[in-house]
Every structure is written in structure tokens, then in C-alpha cells.
Amino acid sequence: MAAAAAALSPADAEKLSNLKSSSSILYSVFEIRISLFDRIFWCLDRFFTVFSAQSGDLRSDFDSFLLFLFCSEDEKKGFINLVSRYLSGEAQHVEWSKIQTPTDEVVVPYDSLAPVSDDPAEIKKLLDKLVVLKLNGGLGTTMGCTGPKSVIEVRNGLTFLDLIVIQIENLNSKYGSNVPLLLMNSFNTHDDTLKIVEKYSKSSVEIHTFNQSQYPRLVVEDFSPLASKGVTGKDGWYPPGHGDVFPSLKNSGKLDALLSKGKEYVFVANSDNLGAIVDLSILVFFLVDSDF
């Protein structure tokens, strides 16, 4: 994927020149061009070279290294695009003059929503188009938990995840619907979550999981990968936040699978937000009364 070119400041150009002199592998093969792509590719190449030296037999080239780390083509493109936006300044400035208060047509008062039908069959038809997606990539370290935040006990021995499953069970039981639970994990929570959800094998709620993207951490001073500073393992990587939910949902193949089952709408919330539940009035508005 081609990165957008942008002129570097004299300071950045000098920094890049110094960086180039320390990496002979990449620049003996590729023509040096002063562009954003050069900087990104240098960072990646340096990262690969460090791991190549550690592993002994790992080739220090772009594709083989990322494949070794199970990064998909979509993750490669996503990472390069994210760094390109940062380096070009696109992601650093907010044009406040373009931010305006939403109109009444955009923000609909909750009290003005139409009442929900009393017909359970009609509600079932609506719910069968819905998926509940919980963001489950965070660790509960600040709360004294070493695993996923969703397994922290909330009350009466029940965890966040227990209560989420109960909420969906009650909804499905009341209307005879089949609303599934979809968990977006990170590489920090994936393995533990797969073990944890086994306890719900007898639940009536279908539970599916997928992983969000995994990108290398960069050092802000010179944009080199953190691994080049001696950091190894998971500490050299990061999940790129909740905004990654939609590209990861698509890239994982889950989106196509859900669409094939007639699902059209997704309810998204943090796994530790038990107050965020399916509201039938809002669902009816999206499915029936709105122009969305």
C-alpha cells in the first residue's frame, strides 16, 4: 500500500539521515527517498533486523517477519496507515471551527421515540437482526486483576462477563430470540478468554470471539520499534484501541459470517459497562423509524 508522501522538516530530515546511516540492510537494497514511507519502512526494517539477530535463522525482510508474527496483510496496511497519519500531522490537529452542535434531526430526544410493540413475535424479528459486541481487550491491572477486566467479580460472586451473559439470556428467553454475544479480545486477553467462556458451554447464548489488531510500539524520539531498545515479548506490541473494532470485525471474517445469518445491527459497549444494555426503543428506531 502506498503511503502518502509529505515533506520533512530540516530537523526530521537530519534525524532520518542519521537513522539511515545505522541501517545498512534495508538501504543496500532499496533506493533511499526522503519521504514518510522511507521512515516507516526503516522503522519496520530495524524491528525485523533485531529479531533476525536474536532468532539466528529468521530472514530480516518485511513479509517473512510479519508472517512469522502472524500479522495479516490487513494489519500491515493498518499499521502503516496509522503511522503515516501520525507522521504527516493528519491525526494531530483538530479543526475546532468545523465542530458544530448536532441538529435536532441528528440527535433525536429519547422521549420522542415511538413506543415498542406489545407483540413478542414482532420484537423477536427485530432482535434476530441484532448482535451484542463487548470490547474485551483490556486487562484489569488497575483493579488488582491479572487477567481480562471482564472476569472481575462485581457482586454475589458474579463477574462482568457472567452478568452480560445473564442479561442476554433473559432477553432471548423473554422473546424467543437468538441474540449472540461477540467478544473483541486483544492479544493480552485472548487465551484467557477462550478458557473462561468454556463455563458458558451450556448457556443458550451463542458466544463468539475475535482478536483486534496487534501493532508494534514505536519510540517517540526516533520512531524506532520498542523491541530495538531491548524490549521483547508482548511489551513490544499494543492493541490500537476501541476504534479498531470495525476494521477488526471485518478483517476477522466475523462480519461476513454474521451478515450471512441475517444480522444487520451491532450493539457495542465496554465489557465493564453493565449499564449499557439493549434498549428496544432505540432498536426499533434504527430498524423501523429512522432513515439510517
Tell me, yes or no, whether 28 lies in a domain.
Answer: yes
Tell me, yes or no, whether 143 lies in a domain.
Answer: yes
- Torsion sign over Cα 95, 241, 82, 73: negative
Average pLDDT (273-279) is 93
Same domain? For 158 and 64 the reply is no
Same domain? For 206 and 155 the reply is yes
- Which run of H or E residues covers position 159? strand 158-159
Average pLDDT (202-225) is 85
pLDDT at 5 over 60: no
Q: What is the pTM of this model?
A: 0.71
> How far is Cα 221 from Cα 224, in angstroms, rounded to an integer?
8
Q: In this predicted model, which residue has the larger pLDDT, 178 or 89?
A: 178
Same domain? For 125 and 82 the reply is no
Domain with residue 126: its CATH number is 3.90.550.10
| Structural domain boundaries, residue 166 | 116-216+239-289
Mean pLDDT, the chain, rounded, equals 77
Same domain? For 167 and 32 the reply is no
Domains held by the chain: number? 2
Same domain? For 148 and 255 the reply is yes
Same domain? For 137 and 59 the reply is no
Contacts of 180 (CB under 8 A, 6+ apart): 131, 132, 205, 206, 207, 208, 263
Q: What distance lies between CA 206 and its chain's CA centroid?
A: 21
Residue 99: how many CA atoms within 13 Å on its side-chain side? 4
Tell me, yes or no, whether 227 lies in a domain.
Answer: no
On whether the CB atoms of residues 36 and 87 are closer than 8 A, the answer is yes
Cα first-last separation, the chain: 32
Q: In this predicted model, which residue has the larger pLDDT, 26 or 139?
A: 139
- Residue 290's pLDDT band, with cuts at 50, 70 and 90, is low
Question: Could you tell me the three cell numbers for 124?
Answer: 423477536
Same domain? For 192 and 75 the reply is no
